[in-house]
Amino acid sequence: MAKASVLLLGLTLGACESLITKHVEWETIEPENYPVLNAVGYAPINAQIASDAASKRLMAIKASKLDAYRELAEQVYGQKVDGQQELANLVLTNNALKSSVEGVIRGARVVKTYPVGDDTYATELELDMEKVHAIYLSTAQPKRIRKISYY
């Protein structure tokens, strides 16, 4: 009989729950501070595959910019490292290490592109995380519960 009473009480309270309505107020989450990330990318001029010096220089500028973006992606998302070792008769026969970076960088700003010496170009990028947060808020609109009112 006691089990039946508990079951009946549970069903009754569960039915009343659907009668209660609630209003949830949300607020956006604001970080305490915003860091500014910096990255520098380098590319050799003479190693570029082009027929004239001007084209090699332009290709090196683009390559140095991509290298700087890769460095920013490493700072934001981290770097994936895969390692592999092979043994034969307890002797190491092959040792391989591979790394990769994957991510999307939005809001980066080119600070400066300049030659370093006679054969290298460098590009400096800056990523203001406050700007990244504003971009994120405009697309994802993250929220947390501010207040719940039951009626």
Can you spell out the DSSP letters for the chain? -HHHHHHHHHHHHHHHHTT--EEEEEE----S---EEEEEEEEESTTS--SSHHHHHHHHHHHHHHHHHHHHHHHHH--EEEEEEEEETTEEEEEEEEEE------SEEEEEEEEETTTEEEEEEEEEHHHHHHHHHHHT---EEEEEEE-
Q: In 10 A of CB 119, how many CB atoms?
A: 13
| Per-residue pLDDT reduced to its tens digit, 55-106 | 999 999 999 999 999 999 999 999 999 999 999 888 888 999 999 999 999 9
| Per-residue pLDDT reduced to its tens digit, 123-150 | 999 999 999 888 887 887 767 777 788 8
pTM of the shown model: 0.69
* Average per-residue pLDDT for the chain: 86
Cα 51 from Cα 73, distance rounded (Å) = 32
> Which value, to the nearest 10 degrees, does the dihedral of the CA atoms of residues 7, 12, 15, 19 take?
-160
φ, ψ for residue 30 (rounded to 5)?
A: -115, 125
pLDDT at 8: 61
CB contact at 8 A, 97 and 82: yes
Q: Which domains does the chain have, with CATH numbers?
A: 2-77+105-150 (3.30.1660.10)
Cα 1 from Cα 52, distance rounded (Å) = 95
Q: How far apart are the first and last CA of the chain?
A: 34
